[in-house]
C-alpha cells in the first residue's frame, strides 16, 4: 500500500512538472527556493545577500546558485549590486516584481493547503502533518548517515 501511494505521488509530480513545462512558466522550483531564501534573509541583510551567504542558507555550493541568480536577474525578479565595502562581492536582493511573484506564489500555496485541509478534515490534516514530519526526520537521518559513509 505504501509503495503504491509513493509511486502515485511520483507519477503525479512528473505529470505536474510536464504541465508546468508546457505552460512555459519562466520560474522553476529552484528559482522559487532562491526567492524565498532571499525574502527570509532580507531583514538581516538590508544591502542584499551575497552568493556565498545564499548558498550557505540553501546548503548548496555557490556554483549551483550563481546561474539561477543570473536567470532570476534576466526575469527582473532580483537585482545584483556590487558590495560597497568589497567590490569582489556581489549582493542580490528581490525586486518589486520578485516580491510580487513570491506573494502570488504564497497565496496559491496557502489556497492549495487550505483545500487539502478542507478535503481531509482537521484531524486527518494534523495526522498527515505529523506523518510528514516523521518521514522528514527519517529521510534526514538517512541522508546524514550516507554523508558520513561517503566522507570518512
Give the Å distances, CA to CA, from 111 to 28, 80, 99, 116. 20, 32, 18, 9
C-beta of residue 47 within 8 angstroms of C-beta of residue 38: no
The three three-digit cell numbers of residue 37, written as one number: 531564501
Which carries the bigger pLDDT value, residue 35 or residue 30?
Answer: 35
- The pLDDT tens digits for 44-81 are 988 899 999 999 999 899 899 999 999 999 999 999 99
Of 95, 55, 93, which is closest to residue 77 (Cα–Cα)? 95
Of the pLDDT bands very low, low, confident and very high (cuts 50, 70, 90), residue 142 is confident
- Residue 132 vs residue 5, higher pLDDT: 132
Q: Is 53 exposed, middle or buried (0-12, 13-18, 19+ CB in 10 A)?
A: buried
**Mean residue pLDDT across the chain:** 86
Per residue in 91-112, pLDDT tens? Answer: 999 999 999 999 999 998 899 8
What pTM does this model have?
0.74
**Among candidate residues 16, 88, 12, the one with its CA nearest the CA of residue 50:** 88
Domains, the chain, ranges and CATH?
9-95 (1.10.10.10)
Of residues 145 and 85, the one with the higher pLDDT is: 85
Q: Among the listed ranges 3-7, 36-40, 58-62, 134-138, which one has the minimum average pLDDT value?
A: 3-7
Amino acid at each position: 500500500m505504501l509503495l503504491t501511494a509513493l509511486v502515485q505521488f511520483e507519477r503525479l509530480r512528473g505529470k505536474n512538472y510536464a504541465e508546468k513545462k508546457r505552460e512555459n512558466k519562466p520560474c522553476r522550483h529552484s528559482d522559487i527556493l532562491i526567492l524565498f531564501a532571499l525574502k527570509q534573509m532580507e531583514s538581516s541583510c538590508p544591502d542584499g545577500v551575497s552568493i556565498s551567504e545564499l548558498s550557505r542558507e540553501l546548503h548548496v555550493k555557490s556554483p549551483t546558485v550563481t546561474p539561477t541568480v543570473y536567470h532570476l536577474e534576466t526575469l527582473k525578479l532580483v537585482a545584483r549590486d556590487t558590495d560597497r565595502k568589497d567590490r569582489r562581492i556581489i549582493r542580490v536582493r528581490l525586486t518589486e516584481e520578485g516580491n510580487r511573484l513570491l506573494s502570488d506564489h504564497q497565496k496559491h500555496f496557502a489556497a492549495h493547503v487550505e483545500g487539502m485541509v478542507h478535503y481531509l478534515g482537521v484531524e486527518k490534516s494534523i495526522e498527515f502533518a505529523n506523518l510528514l514530519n516523521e518521514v522528514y526526520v527519517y529521510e534526514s537521518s538517512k541522508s546524514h548517515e550516507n554523508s558520513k559513509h561517503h566522507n570518512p
